[in-house]
Amino acid sequence: MALNFKRVLLKISGEALKGNSDEIYDKEKLENTARQVIELSREGLQIGVVVGGGNIWRGKLAGTLELQRIDADYMGMFATIMNALAFEATIKKMGFEKVKVYSSLEIRTVTSSYNYRHAREKLEEGYIVIFAGGTGFSYFTTDTGACIRGIEIQADALLMAKNGTKGVYDSDPNTNKDAKFLESLTFHDLVVKRLQVMDSTAASLARDGKLEIVVFDMNGKDNIKKIAHGDLEATYIK
C-alpha cells in the first residue's frame, strides 16, 4: 500500500515511551516506535518527530514541591531533550544512522540548534529529524511545539499519537458508553468544541497554519506504519 503522505510530523507523548512500566522508559515501546519510524523512513516518508516529556516531569508538578512554574516548565523541556536523546540512541542502536536532534533550547554538546531551513534540508536528505525542547518557552506544551514545527517544516500532516484511544469522541468514552467516535472534524470544531485533542493554544495554531491533524492510537505493533499508509481508523481534522 502506498504512503498517504510525503512529509509528516509525528507527536509522541512521553507516556508513550513508558508504556505500563514503572520505569521512565519501556525498552519494547522505545524499540517498537523506533523500528516503525525507521521502516517508514526507508520507504521514503520524510518524518519529523516531536517527543513530550510527561514520563519524566511535567510543569504542573511544580505545586507539590513548591517550585516556581517557570523553573518546573524548563525542567519539563529538559525532560523532552532526554527523551529525544533516548529515541535517537535507540534509532542508531537499530542500525539507522541518519537521525538528527534539533533542540529549541541550546545544548550544543549533544543537540543542534534548531533552524527550520536546515531541518527541511535534512528531511529531504532522508534523515529522521527529532525536535526536542518543545517551543523553548515556559507556559507552553509539546503539542504547541509540534504544531509550530509541523507548520515550519511544511508537513502534510501532524500525526498525533494517542495511547489506547483510536481518535476523537464527542464525549469521554471512559465515562460515557454512548460516546460517539468522530471520523472527521474541522479546525473550527477543534478550537470551539472542547474535544481534548490538544490544548487551545496548539489548536489555534493548527487552525491558523492549516496543519492537518490525524489523531490515532499508536498502541499496536504497526499502528504508526498503518496510519502513514492511511490503513487505520482515526480522526482526521482539516
38 vs 77 by CB, closer to ligand UDP: 77
35 vs 162 by CB, closer to ligand UDP: 162
Q: Which of 111, 135, 223, 235 binds ligand UDP (CB under 6 A)?
A: 135
Q: Is there binding between residue 213 and ligand UDP (CB under 6 A)?
A: no
Measured CA to CA, the distance from residue 99 to residue 178 in angstroms comes to 43
State the distance between the two ends of the chain, measured CA to CA, in whole angstroms: 23
With contact defined as beta carbons under 8 Å apart, do 49 and 194 qualify? no
Q: Is there binding between residue 59 and ligand UDP (CB under 6 A)?
A: yes
Q: Is there binding between residue 53 and ligand UDP (CB under 6 A)?
A: yes
Tell me the per-residue interface mask from 13 to 52 with ligand UDP, x by CB under 6 A, - otherwise: xxx------------------------------------x
Measured CA to CA, the distance from residue 68 to residue 47 in angstroms comes to 35
**Beta-carbon contacts of residue 38 (< 8 Å; ≥ 6 apart):** 91, 94, 96, 128
Give the orientation angle of helix 142-152 with respect to helix 200-208, to 10 degrees. 10
Centroid of chain to Cα 5: 16
Q: What residue type is 223 in one-letter code?
A: N
Q: Which of 67, 98, 107, 138 binds ligand UDP (CB under 6 A)?
A: 138
Q: Known binding site for UMP: residues?
A: 53, 73, 135-142
User: What are the residues binding ligand UDP (CB under 6 A)?
Assistant: 13-15, 52-54, 58-59, 72-73, 76-77, 79-80, 134-135, 137-138, 140-145
Q: Known binding site: residues?
A: 11-14, 53-54, 58, 73, 135-142, 163, 169, 172
